Amino acid sequence: MSDLPHSAADLLPLLTRAERLLSRRVGAVLATESLSIEAWRVLCLLADGLGHPMSEVAAETSLPPGTLTKLVDQLVDRNLVFRRVDPLDRRRIRAYLTARGRREHERIDADIRTDLAEFDTSRDGDLAGLLDALITRLHSRRAPTPV
């Protein structure tokens, strides 16, 4: 890798390449569990135990609503996720991990962390913080409207 400084414009190809390589590595662990990367993203979001509206799950996992519904149906069939009507807004459905889903998430998360342990350095931790800050900044600003 070059020692030349990178501008924000250079980030897209770098992040895309890193995401593909990391997804391939995590995907290999998930394949042994018959889970997709998309299913893993859903389980990770729901692992906070708060329950999330399906619209929020779709947005956070970058999945179209129809695709998310099918995926959550599969996770419900595997007894990893359940849905409930939102007590504050009966028009909304919230998704939660089941007790089994929580146990499976913890076990698989440990397997993934073990597989990726060679990459856990303080520098990678710094990178995670920088990416989180970038996401926050990008999320708070609107993209320019195409002409």
Please enumerate in sequence order all residues whose Cβ is within 8 A of that of 146, keeping only pairs 6 or more positions apart, or say none.
none
Structural domain contains residue 96 = yes
Q: What is the pLDDT of residues 13-62, one digit of tens each?
A: 888 998 999 999 999 999 999 999 999 999 999 999 999 999 999 999 99
What is the number of structural domains in the chain?
1
Structural domain contains residue 43 = yes
Structural domain contains residue 70 = yes
Could you tell me the pTM of the whole model? 0.83
Residue 134's domain comprises 23-140
The CATH number that applies at residue 113 is 1.10.10.10
Q: What is the pLDDT of residue 144?
A: 65
Q: What is the pLDDT of residue 142?
A: 66
Whether the CB-CB separation of 104 and 81 falls below 8 Å is answered with no
According to DSSP H, which parts of the chain are helical? 11-31, 37-46, 54-61, 65-77, 99-115, 122-140
Cβ neighbours around 35 below 10 Å, total: 21
Structural domain contains residue 57 = yes
